[in-house]
Structure formats: C-alpha cells, structure tokens
C-alpha cells in the first residue's frame, strides 16, 4: 500500500504538479518583470481609459526589474510627458493609472482648467473627429472635451461644463526622479494634485493599449470596439 501511494504521488508530481508550478513560475515572473495587464476600476482617465478596460502594461519600457522585487537591474530613458503609466500611489501604495504631465526639471501648474509647463500653457483644441466613447455622447452637455497637446501627444481631456471643481495649484518644481501625474478626467481624478509627486522607482511601466473591455454598467458585456485598442 505504501509503495502504491508513493508511486501515485510520484506520478502526480511529475505529470501534474511540477508542470503546473513551472508554468505558474514563468507567468508570475513574466508579469512581474516584462509585461502585465491591469483592470481599471475608476473613471479618472476618462475618456481615454474607461472603467472595465483591461490595459496592457509594458514593464520594460523604462528599465528591467529583478522579478518579484522593486529593484532595477537596468534603467534607461525615463517616462516622457504624455506617457500613460501605472504607478504606486504615494498616498496608500495602490496601483494607479495616470498620465505623466511633468518630468524632472519641469515647473508644473494648473489654473482655470489649463495645464502650464515651465510657464507655458498647453495647447487645447476642438476634439474634431477624435472618437468620444459612446456612453458619454448622451451626457455631452455635462462635460467639456478638449484635445490637449502635450509634447506632441494629442489626447482628449474632459472637465465638467458647469463646475470649478478642478483643483488649481501653484507652480511645483520637480527634482531629479520626480514626476507629476494627472488623470485625463481632470475634475474627478485623485492624482499628484492631491498626493504629490511620484518617484521614478514607483513607476511600474508604460500603458500601450487596451487588451479587452467589459462594460460594468451593462452586466459586463464586451465593448468589442475597445478590444486591442492602442492608446496615447
């Protein structure tokens, strides 16, 4: 009986447990150091990223981390203005998806719903033919949509039409390895206006696109038009 039990245990280990653990180790290592995907639970990046989107995060965009640790083995060019990144919140350590609006050496300010970099206001234009997610069309009167140009990166930002809730702040000068983050939903984003700058070591990677999207307002039905959607 004992020999039989050892035999079956050996078969289970070799044919099931060991391959499963190897695959799990590869997947965990890959997601930790190379690429990952994150679900988006809030609307702070609307209309660029929606609640229910699952985003693709390139963790090698700014360097190489030792798997399962915060330590970097290699580091190259840092995030640029306009990049969408996943970072740890200085407030509570949660993962956040935000846009980089200020890089080391910049002086960043926000007044009357206009972003200023080094004393210069960013350019804002009419959205024109840029696609606004369908669910916001019916409520367009509640929002203002603008096309913000941030170092050549054109992206939509939204604000409340009849609200001054956007948090203004005096100029902030960024030191080495400090980045200023904001959400594209400018009046409803918990970002660097509240929790301060984000250090480079707390930036996990660059968001390249939406892998898939499920609409939480419609029993998580797929938003097919957002599958494999590139972002900027």
Residues marked as catalytic? 44, 98
Q: Which whole-number Å values give the CA distances from 164 to 50, 73, 169, 172, 195, in the listed order?
A: 23, 45, 13, 21, 20
* Residue carrying the six token digits 């963790």: 59
Q: Is residue 179 packed enough to be buried (19+ CB in 10 Å), middle (13-18) or exposed (0-12)? A: buried
Residue 122 · residue 115 · CB < 8 Å: yes
Distance between CA 82 and CA 150 in Å, rounded? 6
Closest to 199 in 3D by CA, of 224, 216, 177: 177
Q: Select from 179, 130, 181, 182 the least CA-distant residue to 159.
A: 182
């Amino acid at each position: 009986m004992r020999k039989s039990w050892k035999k079956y245990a050996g078969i289970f280990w070799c044919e099931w447990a060991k391959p499963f653990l190897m695959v799990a180790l590869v997947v965990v290592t890959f997601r930790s150091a190379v690429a990952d995907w994150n679900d988006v639970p809030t609307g702070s990046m609307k209309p660029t990223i929606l609640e229910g989107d699952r985003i693709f995060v390139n963790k090698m965009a700014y360097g190489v981390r030792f798997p399962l640790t915060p330590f970097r083995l290699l580091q190259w060019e840092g995030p640029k203005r306009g990049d969408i990144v996943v970072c740890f919140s200085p407030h509570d350590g949660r993962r956040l998806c935000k846009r980089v609006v200020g890089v080391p050496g910049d002086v960043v300010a926000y007044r009357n719903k206009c972003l200023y970099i080094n004393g210069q206001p960013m350019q804002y234009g009419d959205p024109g033919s840029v696609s606004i997610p369908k669910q916001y069309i019916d409520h367009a009167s509640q929002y203002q949509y603008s096309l913000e140009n941030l170092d050549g990166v054109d992206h939509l930002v939204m604000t409340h039409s009849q609200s001054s809730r956007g948090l203004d702040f005096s100029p902030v000068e960024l030191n080495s390895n400090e980045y200023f983050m904001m959400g594209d939903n400018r009046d409803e984003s918990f970002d660097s206006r509240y929790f301060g700058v984000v250090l480079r070591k707390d930036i996990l990677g660059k968001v390249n696109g939406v892998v898939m999207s499920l609409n939480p307002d419609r029993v998580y039905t797929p938003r097919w038009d957002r599958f494999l959607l590139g972002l900027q």
